[in-house]
Amino acid sequence: MIDVSMVIPTLGSRPEWLVSSATSILEQEGVGVSLSIVCPTGVSLPESVVGKANVSVRHLDEPGLSRAINFGWEESPSARYYAWLGDDDLLTPGGLKAAVRFLDEHPESSACYGNVRYIDGAGRTLFVAHPGRLAILYTRFGKDIVPQPGSLFRPRPDGGPLKLDESLKYGMDLDLFLRLRLEGRVSYLDRELASFRLHQSSITFNNTDRREAESIRMRYLGATSARIVSRMRPFFNISDRLLYRAVQRDRAKAGRGR
């Protein structure tokens, strides 16, 4: 039985990082993983990845990151849980097993997230983010500090695979977290689950669409709350910066990071 349906969407332009990303998934112990790598037709992927068991390559020429992830999840409609990982990110050893165990033991939770190590292009630690249990509450109003790498999601209530909103360009994870919060508890697991690679070609580095994020939040707020949040936006702009800095730990130890 498949415990986790994992998807890596990729253009195949970073083969070394893709190998590391896929390996970090496939070497997770104590959990059954099905890995779907979704890429455009004609992209050549490293044989060291595509030749492994439990790995399938699916070709998709439709645009959009959300569409690629949905396409990969559709391959495993009966998986117990769902997740995705960027082709430049890494799962922490033992992290997926810990997340699966947590959701197994907490049926009231529709998703879980944890701590994430931010690394540079060479794999050196920049800082470790500890978002805390209140991050999902703050994300309803301010900056999204709930990390997607390492997070794990339950299927839809009808048992089918999850589906990201394909109309969104960058905020699909924010929308998913807020949507799942309506179906159950989005829980914080206080342990390191993944590493997020921050570099000049990463989506997070280059693409922060505040208007899209704001429109997503408005979907899940009532009319009165939406008006209040809009009026308090200058306050949240300040608190966003302070809180983002507060969740970054071990910054002083970055030079000694792995």
pLDDT tens digits for the chain (258 residues)?
Answer: 689 999 999 998 899 999 999 999 999 999 999 999 999 999 989 888 888 888 999 999 999 999 999 999 999 999 999 999 999 999 999 999 999 999 999 999 999 999 999 999 899 999 999 999 999 988 888 788 899 999 999 998 887 788 999 999 889 999 999 999 999 999 999 999 999 998 766 555 444 567 888 888 888 887 777 677 777 777 767 776 776 677 776 554 544 444
pLDDT of 247: 75
Q: Which fold has domain 4-256?
A: Spore Coat Polysaccharide Biosynthesis Protein SpsA; Chain A (3.90.550)
Could you give the 3-state DSSP secondary structure of residue 14? Answer: coil
Residue 85's pLDDT is 97
pLDDT of residue 208: 56
pLDDT value at position 203? 55
Rounded to 5 degrees, what angle do the CA atoms 181, 182, 186 make?
A: 20
Q: Collapsing DSSP states into helix, strand and coil, what is residue 35?
A: strand
Report angle CA 35, 196, 22 to the nearest 5 degrees: 25
Cα–Cα dist 14/42, whole Å: 15
User: Could you give the C-alpha distances from 8 to 89, 187, 189, in angstroms and in order?
Assistant: 10, 23, 23
CA dist., res. 173 & res. 253, Å (int): 29
Calculated CA dihedral for residues 126, 101, 174, 22, nearest 10 degrees: 60
Q: Give the DSSP H/E element, type plus range, for residue 233.
A: helix 233-246
Tell me what pLDDT residue 239 has: 72
Domain ranges of the chain: 4-256
Which among 158, 193, 1 has a CA at the least distance from the CA of 83? 193
Q: Is the pTM of this model over 0.85?
A: yes
Query: To 10 degrees, what angle do helices 65-73 and 172-181 make?
Result: 50
Q: Cα–Cα–Cα angle for 214, 219, 225, nearest 5°?
A: 80
